[in-house]
Amino acid sequence: MARYFDIHPDNPQPRTIGQITALIRDGGLIAYPTDSCYALGAQIGNREALERIRTIRNLDAKHHFTLVCRDFAQLGQFVQVNNDVFRAIKAVTPGSYTFILPATKEVPRQLLHPKKKTVGVRIPDNKVVQALLADLGEPILSSTLLLPDQEDPLTEGWEIQDRLEHLVDAVVDSGYCGPDPTTVIDFSSGSAEVVRRGTGDPSRFE
């Protein structure tokens, strides 16, 4: 059964944050809130957790996973960003956007799009996630918590605990979250392409 962490959305308890990151480092898969909706998260190199996410969400090999990063310094280690793209991303982050970009060699191969060699990255505007990232010291491998039989992501921690208690190792609940996922912008061709319209305003990329 998944552990249940009730955490304050504005002042996350350091002890609880430490317990969650310890679970991630130990190979755990968590459901956690972001600035858009709930997501599934694990350590970057955790292949077992990656396959668990694929199974929970019924994803194919072409799905873009996301590296949730603390800041631009961290983001820059995992994707290739030229000056124009950097400025475009900088203007809307932290925020509810995911950007698809060519990956660097720091990204494990199993996370890459098989043909494009790209990966999603984002810097969320959420105090719980930022606290987790600061304590973890590396990005969180992430995917929107959208179940195959649902049109919209789950929005309440207790509901996720009820649905996924035997499929994840922990649920992090900071209150209502969602229901819209991030806006996804694909920069892999060099120019912006809006792939998904979500919480972030896509107008500046259209």
Q: What is the 3-class SS of the chain, one letter each residue?
A: CCEEEECCCCCCCHHHHHHHHHHHHCCCCEEECCCCCCEEEEECCCHHHHHHHHHHHCCCCCCCCEEECCCHHHHCCCECCCHHHHHHHHCCCCCCEEEEEEECCCCCHHHCCCCCCEEEEECCCCHHHHHHHHHHCCCEEEEECCCCCCCCCCCCHHHHHHHHCCCCCEEEECCCCCCCCCEEEECCCCCCEEEECCCCCCHHHC
Q: Give the pLDDT band of residue 192 (cuts 50, 70, 90).
A: very high
Q: What is the pLDDT of residue 149?
A: 83
Q: What is the mean pLDDT of residues 5-12?
A: 97
- State yes or no: pLDDT of 153 exceeds 90: no
Q: What is the mean pLDDT of residues 101-127?
A: 93
Q: What is the pLDDT of residue 178?
A: 85
pTM of the model: 0.95
- CATH class for the domain made up of 3-205: alpha beta
Q: Give the pLDDT band of residue 7 (cuts 50, 70, 90).
A: very high
- State yes or no: pLDDT of 185 exceeds 90: yes
Q: What is the mean pLDDT of residues 37-49?
A: 96
What is the domain partition of the chain in residue ranges? 3-205
Q: What is the pLDDT of residue 57?
A: 95
Q: What is the mean pLDDT of the chain?
A: 95
